[in-house]
Amino acid sequence: MSAMTRAPLYLAYVALACTLLSGAVSVLAVRRHPDFLHFGSFFFLFLSGAASIGAGVWALLAGLTVSDRFELGLPWLDWHLRIDPLSGFFLLLLGTLALAISLYGPSYTRQFARGPAAQPLPPLGIFTALFVLGMQMLLLANDALVFMIFWEMMSLAGYFLVVYQHQHTANRQAAFLYLLLAHVGALVILLAFGVLAAFGGGLTFDQMRVAHLSPLWATLAFAFAFIGFGTKAGMVPLHVWLPEAHPVAPSHISALMSGAMIKMGIYGIVRLSYDLIGNVRWEWGMAVLIIGTASSVLGVLYALMQHDMKRLLAYHSIENIGIILMGLGLSMIFLGNGHIMLGTLGLVAALYHTLNHALFKGLLFLGAGAVDYRTHAHDLDQMGGLIHRMPITALFFLVGCVAISALPPFNGFVSEWLTFQTALQAPALHDGVLRTIIPIAAALLALTGALAAACFVKAFGIAFLGKPRSRSVGRAREVPAGMLAGMGLLGTLCLLLGVFPTTMIKLMAPITQLLVRDELPSAAAQGWLWLTPISSDVASYSAPCVLIAIVVVFALGYFFLKRGTAAPRRAYAWDCGFGHLTQRMQYTSTAFSQPIRRVFAGIWKVDEHIETLASKGTIPHVTSLHYSLYTQDWSWLKCYLPIGRLVLAAANRIGFIQTGNIHTYLKFSFVTLIVFLWIVS
């Protein structure tokens, strides 16, 4: 194989080397020049991101599949690596986020080394490098051993990043919950690999691809993979770790976790279902579609109740994972019923939304970090008026809000529109049940989009509009240029992928050729100006025309409003004759979402309290009111708490083993010896 053919894999090796250098520089920073070397670690992370993007784009453009083998570890267990269009796509996603946080991180992380609760920066750099290295290596893994080694490295490094500010109890609890579910998911993934390895005769993915599985064993392997990888992805009801871990991690790590780490769960589902198991069944698609629909609706409803900005964004990650799973579910349903082109469309929609979510969610977490960097506020009800103090951050955050709300001309609209187009092809199916369920899922997806728009009207309006609600917010100023550059990169890509979707879909053609032996030639049949996923007779969308129309409308509106008008009279708005506005007159985030909470009251367990203080006397007068609202996740209350109580009860029951009684120890030793002798004989 020529050097040019192997170039994507060599570029991936360069990315790995740069990631290792990033961690090594952080190790050196423990003893000398900590500030200088901390910046150096981000420099090598930048190079790693650039090399990952190069490797991914090269693999996609050339449609290459390149393998390699290293004699590492045990003599009979070599390490097998491979890059193909699917792993190249996810390397492109990961590299883009690594590039953004390498620009954002140097200025943002300085705050952790200051103040009474200062933390050393080298551990943050070391575990960030290990976190990225784990994701890069599992994407290149071509056997179960290498995959699981670096899957665990990613999970363990993530634990140390979540618990980085360990002086806070919430961080320690969130990190423990994250690690617990990460290991539970890993055990289930091992079962999926175990089934494939048993029938394939080995641990390499090449052996698993040729394994002949009966429908029962194939379904069992898929179920294990879906549960294990779905735990990492954060699908309902395995999502409880996500809204706890994401908010407490440093914001650039939250962007990497939400944008890239949970996408490794999507990668695992796609790799095992479409590539290693193959012969996708429509029954799998039904399960994925139902779980995805539940995740999208419940994720956005829980997000609407949040007033912590990062927690709100974390719940929206659950929502968007649900949308991705809906696309995958539709793809499996159509493929299982013999509709290859429609199944390909669902797969493209899911993968496109995977990339889009990485971009706009990374942007939003970086924006939340910028707000926290200047205001030290997490609660939306403490913010307000930041558009005047941090205008560029406000612009980038608005771009993320519009993109995640699936509004044109940004990228979120395109991938959700493709998912809708897939669902609208339900009449092609012969099964009446499927033709009924898919439109219901599409209607719930439309509801999700509307609720997401309402949620981000709340988030942007409460945080950036109105008047400041605290002194620190009123004194805020714009963040450093490096942080703006990281947000600007992701914001620009959100616009480009929304305006030129045909280019990205053509780039993704080798992925669908690899997985389902088909592509979408009709998508760009009308040129780069029109996106026609099925055909021009069915549906079409011109993102460039939409962008031009938006610009023209705003330009004309501005021109006619300014033309011939006298200088405006400045006055306080909405004072209704009562004088100047104060911050107490503004909507709070709780008040904004109150109508939705009334409509969907049964979705949450709501604890609402009103405390009234009154003056003493014959006619008491109310002197103050205190209102508090706390919503709880039914998944936690009905599933995880009972399991926790059951585990504790079982632990108490078997606690007598540790009584210190020598007779008890001898009995257990004797029984164990008898059992082992029986097994050996």
d(C-alpha 434, C-alpha 191), whole Å: 30
Q: Average pLDDT in the 282-307 region?
A: 93
Structure tokens at 281: 């069944």
Whole-angstrom distance, CA of residue 308 vs CA of residue 396 = 19
pLDDT for res 481: 92
- Classify residue 604: in a domain, yes or no: yes
- CA torsion sign for 197, 201, 206, 211 is negative
* Look-up of token digits 């699981």: 148
Q: Is the CB of residue 37 less than 8 Å from the CB of residue 484? A: no
Q: Is residue 630 part of a domain?
A: yes
> Is 625 part of a structural domain of the chain?
yes
What type of residue sits at position 487?
Answer: M
Residue 408 has which token pair? 């044109």
Q: Which residues contact 132 (CB under 8 A, 6 or more apart)?
A: 19, 22, 45, 48, 94, 98, 256
Res. 631: pLDDT tops 80: no
The packing angle between helices 481-499 and 340-375, to 10°, is 160
How far is residue 475's CA from residue 389's CA, in Å, rounded to a whole number?
Answer: 8
The answer to whether position 622 is within a domain reads yes
Which residue is listed with tokens 């025309």?
545
Mean pLDDT, residues 295-314 taken together? 91
pLDDT for 139 equals 96
Measure the CA–CA gap between 531 and 525, rounded to whole angstroms. 8
The SS3 assignment for 165 reads: coil
What's the Cα-to-Cα distance from 92 to each of 8, 133, 196, 507, 515, rounded to whole Å? 12, 14, 28, 12, 18
Q: Identify the helix (H) or strand (E) that includes residue 82.
A: strand 79-83
- Number of domains the chain contains: 1
577-629 pLDDT per residue, tens? 666 677 777 777 787 888 888 888 777 777 777 777 777 767 777 777 777 77
Cα–Cα distance between 288 and 332 in angstroms, integer?
9
Predicted local distance difference test score (pLDDT) of residue 574 = 59
Q: Residue 108's closest CA among 309, 371, 362?
A: 371
Written as six digits, the tokens of 646 are: 């059951």
Backbone CA torsion sign across 325, 327, 332, 333: positive
CA distances from 170 to 164, 166, 246 (A): 11, 9, 11
**Residue 500, SS3 per DSSP:** coil
CB 319 within 8 A of CB 452: yes
Most confident of 170-184, 302-316, 346-360, 420-434: 346-360
Q: How far apart are the first and last CA of the chain?
A: 52
Global pTM reads 0.92
Q: In percent, how much of the chain has pLDDT > 90? A: 57
Concatenating the DSSP letter of every residue in 418-475 gives: HHHHHHTTGGG-S-HHHHHHHHHHHHHHHHHHHHHHHHHHHHHHHHHSS--SSHHHHT
Question: What CA–CA distance (Å, rounded) separates 308 from 312?
Answer: 6
Of residues 272 and 527, more confidence is placed in: 272
Max avg pLDDT among 293-307, 512-526, 614-628: 293-307
Give the chain's largest Cα–Cα span.
100
- CA 653/CA 646 separation, integer angstroms: 11
Q: Give 223's pLDDT tier (boundaries 50, 70, 90).
A: very high
Domain ranges, residue 604: 600-635
- Weakest-pLDDT range from 193-202, 282-291, 293-302, 567-576: 567-576
Q: What are the CA-CA distances from residue 617 to residues 594, 613, 614, 621, 667 (Å)?
A: 35, 13, 9, 8, 74
Q: Assess if residue 616 is contained within a domain.
A: yes
3-state secondary structure of 569: coil
Here the contacts of 555-560 (C-beta below 8 Å, separation 24 or greater) are none
* 8 A C-beta contact, residue 344 and residue 292: no
Query: How far apart are the C-alpha atoms of 192 and 377, rounded to whole Å?
Result: 43
Mean pLDDT of the chain: 88
The pLDDT-based confidence of 568 (bands split at 50, 70, 90) is: low
Please, what is the Cα angle at 274 between 157 and 204, to 5 degrees?
60
pLDDT at residue 542 is higher than 60: yes
DSSP-based three-state secondary structure for 621: coil
Q: Which residues pair with 138 in a beta bridge?
A: none
CB atoms within 10 A of CB 538: 12
pLDDT value at position 505?
92
pLDDT at 86 over 90: yes
Question: Which of 26-40, 404-418, 450-464 shows the lowest per-residue confidence on average (mean pLDDT)?
Answer: 26-40
Angle between helices 262-270 and 309-336 (to 10 degrees): 10
pLDDT band of 290, cuts 50, 70, 90: very high
Q: Is 450 within a domain? A: no
- 233 lies in a domain? no
> Which contacts of 649-658 are long-range, i.e. CB under 8 A and separated by 24 or more positions?
none
- Statement: residue 367 has pLDDT above 70: yes
The C-alpha atoms of residue 671 and residue 84 are separated, in whole angstroms, by 52
- Residue 465: pLDDT band (50, 70, 90) is confident
484-511 in b/e burial notation, b at 16+ Cβ within 10 A?
A: bebbbbbbebbbebbbbbbebbbbbbbb
Model confidence pLDDT, tens digit, residues 324-358: 999 999 999 999 999 999 999 999 999 999 999 99
More confident residue, 665 or 94: 94
The answer for residues whose C-beta is within 8 angstroms of residue 273's C-beta and 6 or more apart is 222, 225, 226, 280, 284, 328, 332
Does a structural domain hold residue 556?
Answer: no
pLDDT score recorded for residue 520: 83
